């Protein structure tokens, strides 16, 4: 669809009544697309860089459209003046070339290379300093969310010292620390001096993904044991005392200690713990170092592999312990990017078990108030409706992969009003590896063809076995 850039375009004109937005019109020969970067040459000879937001046309007939203005290109072509806001009555319109588009990045600090964009395949970069916002990552299953997420996280680990924790339900990121000598893929890997911890469920391994029962807030401990503070007054009360009795000891001691107490409620609580088989969960630390203790040192990246637990409550327990601890220590203001892949597992509006509710409320709280404490969320999911609305509404960055459902796209358009609607509407046609980035971490909305990963994916798609 895009016009060759070298043909000077006499077929389209633009005008702006406010110097911020422009209207454009032209004949059938001048074909732009939503998202095209354009240079508008005003009658005073100054060149203005803008982006087409919207276009309508009839087959073979004239087209009309509108777009936004980013700034005026300096005389030497090396800068972009974003302060001059001047209306103009008429300007010629042409596609911006890669070096002019590059001006969008002028004056921005460290950037993360993620792929290419625009008709000239310019290098697409994210603004590293804008990960101090919450980010929403969305696209239908198989659209490439996890792959693209990996590309971005690798760049963050390469170019920033922002620590990252990844809640990884499908073991997709367990190779993040894979060293070139240790993988046969021929990939570059990440520098060996980066501290990358991969914590996986294991009953015996000393570096397993574990948390401590007594570190959990009382409400979460009650939720694990299906106890209600009023409906189950006596047992709940024993649970409160358990801290004094058990401290940080091995969970295997919990039941004997309770039985030692000899009260009816302690006996009931012991039976409950046994019946639910909670003690058998692989998630309890015993003397091992817990995920919260490891995160306290803020490794460059910590992967929490939530997939391998036997009980579906165990991933929720990990999330609760980690998020609760981060929140409790928020005044330390130690920045952390909290990445949650398949985030509907932890903050869907529908989860109703007390543990689900507790985890979701913690995430809602971090979404609402975590930013100023350096707790920044990056949430990935398939549909906007699968994440609680008061969490999504706090997100300033959007990465959108293919999404075919018009209902979902409409919702995205409502929540992320800053994204040109015509660019969103193209999402159903995105190929694998294409993503729309918009919001504060890009200088302008851009459709990116994602670059390659540096480390091998963990859980990529399985192929159907064929017969020879
Ligand atoms: N940009 C890309 N380049 C190469 N392969 C990709 C790319 N994006 C996705 N894939 C492949 O497509 C499959 C699905 O991608 P994935 O990221 O797991 O999707 P999602 O997380 O949205 O379900 C994976 O096997 C992955 O390797
Ligand atoms: Mg995925």
pLDDT in tens, 408-445: 999 999 999 999 999 999 999 999 999 999 999 999 99
Here the tokens at position 404 are 């075919």
Quickly count: other Cβ atoms within 10 Å of residue 250's Cβ. Answer: 12
Distance (Å) from CA 99 to ligand 2 centroid: 34
Q: What is the pTM of this model?
A: 0.92
Here the tokens at position 379 are 């949430």
Does the CB atom of residue 143 touch ligand 1 within 6 A? yes
Atom of ligand 1 at shortest range from CA of 115: 1
Q: What is the pLDDT of residue 261?
A: 86
What are the backbone dihedrals phi and psi of residue 4, each rounded to the nearest 5 degrees, phi first?
-60, 135
Q: Is the pLDDT of residue 251 over 70?
A: no
> pLDDT, tens digit, for every residue of 120-168?
888 999 999 999 999 999 999 999 999 999 999 999 999 999 999 999 9
Q: Which fold has domain 125-211+287-450?
A: Rossmann fold (3.40.50)
Residue 80 in contact with residue 73, Cβ under 8 Å?
Answer: yes
Does the CB atom of residue 431 touch ligand 1 within 6 A? no
Residues within 5 Å of ion ligand 2, judged at the Cβ atom: 145-146
| Distance, CA of 216 to CA of 338 (rounded, Å) | 19
Domain boundaries, the chain: 12-105, 125-211+287-450, 213-280
Distance (Å) from CA 152 to ligand 1 centroid: 14
Please report which confidence band the pLDDT of residue 205 belongs to, taking 50, 70 and 90 as the band edges.
Answer: confident
Distance (Å) from CA 142 to ligand 2 centroid: 7
The average confidence (pLDDT) of the chain is: 90
Please report which confidence band the pLDDT of residue 7 belongs to, taking 50, 70 and 90 as the band edges.
Answer: very low
Instruction: Give, using CA atoms, the residue closest to atom 3 of ligand 1.
Output: 433
Picking from 350, 403, 402, 347, the residue whose alpha carbon sits closest to that of residue 377 is: 347
Here the tokens at position 292 are 């919260």
Q: Is the pLDDT of residue 296 over 90?
A: yes
Q: Is the pLDDT of residue 244 over 70?
A: no
CA trace torsion 166, 168, 173, 174 (10° rounding): 110
Q: Which of 460, 463, 464 most suits a substitution to test ligand 1, by most atoms within 8 Å of the C-beta? A: 460
Q: Which fold has domain 12-105?
A: Thrombin, subunit H (2.40.10)
Q: What is the pLDDT of residue 152?
A: 98
């Amino acid at each position: 669809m895009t016009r060759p850039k070298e043909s000077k375009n006499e077929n389209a004109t633009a005008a702006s009544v406010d110097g911020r937005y422009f209207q454009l019109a032209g004949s059938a020969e001048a074909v732009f697309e939503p998202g095209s970067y354009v240079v508008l040459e005003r009658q005073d000879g100054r060149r203005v860089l803008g982006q087409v937001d919207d276009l309508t046309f009839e087959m073979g007939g004239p087209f009309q459209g509108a777009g936004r203005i980013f700034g005026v290109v300096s005389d030497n072509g090396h800068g972009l003046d974003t302060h001059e806001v001047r209306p103009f009555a008429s300007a010629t319109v042409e596609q911006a070339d890669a070096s002019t588009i590059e001006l969008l990045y002028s004056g921005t600090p460290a950037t993360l290379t993620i792929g290419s964009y625009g008709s000239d395949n310019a290098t697409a970069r994210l603004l590293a300093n804008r990960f101090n916002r919450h980010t929403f990552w969305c696209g239908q299953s198989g659209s490439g969310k996890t792959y693209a997420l990996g590309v971005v996280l690798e760049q963050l680990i390469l170019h920033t010292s922002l620590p990252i924790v990844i809640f990884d339900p499908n073991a997709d990121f367990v190779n993040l620390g894979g060293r070139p000598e240790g993988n046969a893929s021929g990939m570059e890997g990440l520098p060996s001096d980066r501290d990358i911890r991969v914590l996986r469920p294991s009953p015996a391994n000393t570096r397993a993904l574990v948390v401590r029962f007594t570190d959990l807030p009382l409400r979460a401990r009650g939720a694990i044991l299906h106890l209600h503070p009023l409906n189950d007054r006596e047992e709940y009360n024993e649970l409160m005392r358990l801290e004094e009795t058990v401290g940080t000891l091995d969970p295997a001691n919990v039941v004997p200690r309770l039985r030692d107490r000899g009260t009816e409620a302690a006996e009931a609580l012991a039976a409950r713990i046994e019946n639910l088989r909670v003690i058998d969960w692989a998630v309890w630390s015993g003397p091992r170092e817990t995920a919260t203790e490891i995160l306290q040192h803020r490794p460059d990246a910590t992967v929490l592999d939530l997939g391998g637990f036997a009980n579906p409550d165990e991933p929720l327990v990990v999330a609760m312990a980690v998020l609760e601890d981060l929140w409790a220590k928020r005044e330390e203001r130690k920045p952390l990017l909290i990445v949650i892949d398949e985030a509907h597992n932890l903050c869907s509006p529908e989860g109703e078990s007390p543990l689900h509710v507790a985890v979701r409320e913690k995430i809602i709280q971090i979404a609402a108030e975590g930013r100023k404490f350096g707790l920044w969320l990056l949430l990935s999911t398939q549909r906007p409706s699968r994440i609680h609305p008061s969490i999504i509404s706090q997100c300033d960055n959007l990465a959108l992969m293919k999404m075919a459902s018009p209902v979902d796209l409409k919702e995205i358009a409502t929540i992320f009003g800053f994204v040109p609607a015509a660019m969103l509407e193209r999402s159903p046609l995105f190929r694998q590896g294409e993503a729309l980035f918009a919001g504060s971490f890009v200088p302008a909305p851009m459709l990116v063809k994602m670059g390659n990963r540096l480390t091998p994916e963990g859980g990529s798609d399985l192929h159907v076995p064929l017969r020879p």
